[in-house]
């Protein structure tokens, strides 16, 4: 990204998996994350997505949905009909497009089993949704990164429904008004920000339709990061890491623990 002052940031977020702390859910994790971008770079990203779609004859109104691309189903069923080399060309072009963008990938990935082990017996029905934990961690760490540059940040999420959208807005209001929601003693090792520091940096939160080009990039980046803890050799994850667009590559080593991508509750998994 081009360095300049007075350049507001935006965090575009997506989710992977169900945030409900259901012990019967077989999914290994819940993840919330996406991309931090400078507002002045949004047009660059939007144009790159449009150019990619044009190269592959994809309508602009069709989202680049990671699950559909990986499974070669629904609107990307045509990928399964391509010769292998052409399919590989598509994936290489997609990876090159993403890794050339002026983005910083950030996320909080929650181990489902670890979360159950830590909280379900203790709090039972009063256990938070994993969304609240992941959102609070992701937003505070993004604020730390942006506030170091004396900048502000706007949060954008994919609209999912009135109830889900209200929850995100509620979590946003709570962290801006009261700061992080975690036990202060446990959180102290992560150098938490005060509510005043967070409020000063956070501008607002707004929902966007799923065909928003930058939300599409957020979706495509979140999946490999979510897998990165248990599958560090995942090709898409390695591409993000090697091209230094994970937020950890933007931080000093000593700051990664308190500001980098968070793999939460993985210490409580077998």
What the block records as the tokens of 240 is 């993000």
Per-residue confidence (pLDDT) for residue 253, from 0 to 100: 95
Q: What mean pLDDT is predicted for residues 140-145? A: 97
- Burial class (CB within 10 angstroms; exposed 0-12, middle 13-18, buried 19+) of 205: buried
pTM equals 0.92
Share of the chain above pLDDT 90, in %: 77
CA distance 61 to 246: 28
CA distances from 17 to 43, 147, 232 (A): 29, 30, 19
Tens-digit pLDDT profile for residues 104-131 = 999 999 999 999 888 877 777 667 788 9
Q: What mean pLDDT is predicted for residues 226-241? A: 94
Tens-digit pLDDT profile for residues 27-69 = 899 999 999 999 999 999 999 999 999 999 999 999 999 999 9
In the chain, the domains with their CATH numbers are 9-268 (3.30.420.10)
Q: What mean pLDDT is predicted for residues 4-28? A: 85
- Which residue has tokens 């559909």? 68
Per-residue confidence (pLDDT) for residue 100, from 0 to 100: 98
């Amino acid at each position: 990204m081009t360095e300049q002052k007075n350049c507001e940031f935006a965090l575009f977020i997506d989710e992977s998996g169900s945030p409900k702390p259901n012990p019967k859910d077989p999914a290994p994790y819940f993840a919330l994350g996406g991309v931090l971008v400078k507002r002045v770079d949004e047009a660059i990203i939007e144009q790159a997505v449009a150019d990619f779609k044009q190269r592959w004859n994809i309508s602009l109104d069709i989202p680049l949905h990671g699950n559909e691309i990986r499974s070669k189903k629904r609107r990307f069923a045509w990928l399964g009909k391509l010769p292998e080399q052409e399919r590989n060309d598509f994936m290489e072009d997609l990876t090159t497009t993403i890794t050339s963008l002026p983005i910083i990938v950030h996320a909080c990935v929650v181990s489902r089993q670890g979360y159950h082990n830590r909280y379900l017996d203790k709090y039972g029905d009063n256990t938070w949704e994993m969304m609240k934990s992941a959102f609070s961690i992701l937003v505070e760490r993004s604020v730390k990164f942006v506030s170091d540059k004396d900048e502000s940040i706007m949060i954008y999420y994919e609209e999912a429904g009135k109830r889900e959208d209200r929850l995100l807005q509620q979590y946003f209001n709570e962290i801006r008004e009261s700061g992080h929601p975690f036990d202060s003693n446990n959180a102290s090792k992560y150098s938490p920000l005060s509510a005043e520091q967070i409020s000063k940096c956070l501008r607002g939160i707004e929902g966007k339709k799923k065909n928003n080009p930058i939300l599409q990039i957020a979706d495509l980046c979140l999946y490999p990061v979510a897998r990165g803890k248990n599958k560090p050799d995942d090709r898409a994850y390695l591409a993000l890491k090697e091209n230094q667009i994970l937020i950890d590559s933007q931080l000093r080593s000593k700051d990664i623990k308190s500001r980098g991508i968070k793999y939460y509750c993985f210490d409580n998994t077998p």
